[in-house]
Structure 1
Amino acid sequence: MAVLVSLLYFTPLTATAVELDEGDEVEAVMSYDTSKTDETPNQIEGVCQIPEGFGLNAYIEIADAEGTHYYISVSQENGYSDRAYVKNGTYSFVSAGVYGDNTGKYAFDLVQGEDDFTLDGENNSFFCIKVKITNYDEIKAQIEENKGEEKPKVLEYAPTGLKGVTIDSTGVLYYETKATSSKGTIEIYGNATNDYKVYVEIIEKGVVGEAKFKLSLDGGKTFIGDDTTSEEFDLGSYGITIGFKTEVDTDELQVGDTFTADVPATNYVSQLNPLESNVVVAGASKEDYQLMIDILSSETLGKAKFSISTDSGKIIDVTDTIPEDGIYKYKDLIIYFYTSDVFSKGDQYMSSVETHIEKSSYLGIIIIIAVLVAGFIAFLVFLLMHAEKKTDYVIQVWNEKQMSEVYR
């Protein structure tokens, strides 16, 4: 599926294809909308060399001789490598960058694929383009520094539009917690897949790493299990992590200590400067979206214009003004906008919203229905057989009576 994309949203690394002026619109195809067919038998692979833990979504842009542009979307989820299936023709590398980086903060160097290349679907049906983020070593060092022994989290936090929720410089959400313990606390962070009332109770005393706890996600009504405390206890499919802390390593958590928090369902949002302006997408969606929020004007809450797309920008579903309270309801989601000053025109906020509602399996229902049908059929057969036997008995009695009258 094609879409018209304004070049205002991208900061090209270089351009070797058709020359275009800023603001021109081009026909664009996203890599995830392509597939291998008889018409598109060729494969162009895009690889971004980015340090592990970078987190932001990037793209590699290529174009054919007819002016169609293809965007190979890469992210941490796909290992910063993806492919686009294209028709026969001649192609050129155009640009690479980070989505929403209108300031050009993140530049890329072309490593492989400088020259134009032709694909024919036979002998030449594959081509690989590689780019590398320019300040690779610097970014890697920053990421490694954030993984130090003291604390693997960033220390800078900012408020969000969602009460009781803060955000760090990498876009990770933290939730306000309460404790009855005199020695310890917990922190909860991540993107919960549903609304939870977290209740943690210490059931065996000890230091962090030895003390045991039990966990409830419905305020203590039911418990999903117990385990050993940890500085980072990942709850996996629930989407959040619990970290136990004490002021001194030798301090012990006591039996009966409790920790609570109201954790709303949220979805991870890729954003460049969350400490200055951020967006929280809350709600347990019933559908999957590739949500893209574009800031259309540099203004404050109540004045800034924005647009929403649920298919990565192919179709703009909504254009509106951010409310003064920063809370905007859309479909089954609630979007919370926050800024310490003003939003910046051109900023993009992207979120892969996935439904976590379990799809019903009909196998069990089918089996139950089959058993009931089989039982009903067996019951009918039994009735028919019983009816036949009764009829035979009546005939036999009648025959015996007739014979008795004959011989009388």
Structure 2
Amino acid sequence: MTQPSPIRPQFRRRVDPRAERAARTVLTGQRPRLLRQPVAAAVNERRRDPRALRAAALIQSQPRPRYDWTRDAASAGTAAAVGIAVATVPAIPLQVIVEPAYLVLAMLDRPGGEVSEHDRQVIAAARLLADAGGGAVVTVCTGSGEALAEAGSDRHVALPDGWADDYVPERRAAAASALMTTLSPRHILFPDSPDGADVARRVATTMGERLFAGVQGLGPDRATRQSAGGSLETGHRPTRLMTVAADAFAPLDGVRHEARPLDLATPVIAGEEVLPRLGGARRLAVDPDALSLSETDFILSAGNGVTDWRSFADLGEALGATRAGSRVVCDAGHLPRERQVGASGTLVSARCYLAFGIAGAPQHLQGITGVRHVIAVNTDLHAEMIKRADLSIVADAQAVMPALIRLIRERRHD
């Protein structure tokens, strides 16, 4: 008599919650942020050629290179050339608010004409108030609003470009007061920075409004901030004027708003009529090497692949970058120990990190987790730093550094 075959139990692989959380963690500044879905790991996938992908996505080379990563050519052409499958990134839909119920103004600093990480956080906080009831975010700063569309701006008021060079807080305060009268916004948010907080207090004094400073938690019905070293929390209903603390809100990613320009002459005229009360104000020149690695925005780092230290020092001076290095460099005595980047050194969060001759050890990569843009120069195409970088140059550092110095001097001479 035939015996029935036993039913084999179906074993399921045990889920590791710590591994799933680590796969979903994205560090933004000093506050970790979790993705909704974990990043899928590639299985038996051949390494992609970043230069071929970038060349296929290039749609404009002059005057500034532009890339379209959603083009079919970036996936189909490269996949046919190297024999790998590359998924096409779906285009981000444009979010348009035709008739907003109310407006939320975001008065940005935009130092040096660049949208800082703090500015993006202010826009993210403004979106929390605008999305709660069908409102729109209006950004106010110098320059155009093209760079602010991906940060969450629905409308944009451009201030004169000359205001970015001169420190005249009276002009920005007058423009903000005029916008409060013209647009009647429900809330106005400022970055809690030295310049933004100064303008916010001037506006509050002029308009007779209450200012809630240092907001770290924000909702449609409550704004909170911490005090006494984080042991106490102060809450209040969102006031009309508020300043947003640094690293309190994660910048928005994967969004695309309209950033439609608003042609308003009233705040500009009102601001130009205000005379500065300071006899003269200018930004003092600061030695980049005197800045701490945790505070600087531009870091020039060297690894074991750098042997021409004279060119490395000249390049740091030409770029105005703070010099740093890996542990091997600091152990050899080429740079002091406080200039070491990594898990056993300093965790940096600079806006740009330019690495020469760094292979990319796990401890070093941990130190640059919070960096926004990484540029790597290395002779090894398969180095871990090349994989981490947003822009890679596969070449010898001793050849790239003098060429870059000559290019900088030619541009300055022109």
What TM-score results when the alignment is normalised by the length of structure 2?
0.24
Structure with more helix by fraction = 2
Larger radius of gyration: 1
Structure with more strand by fraction = 1
What TM-score results when the alignment is normalised by the length of structure 1?
0.24
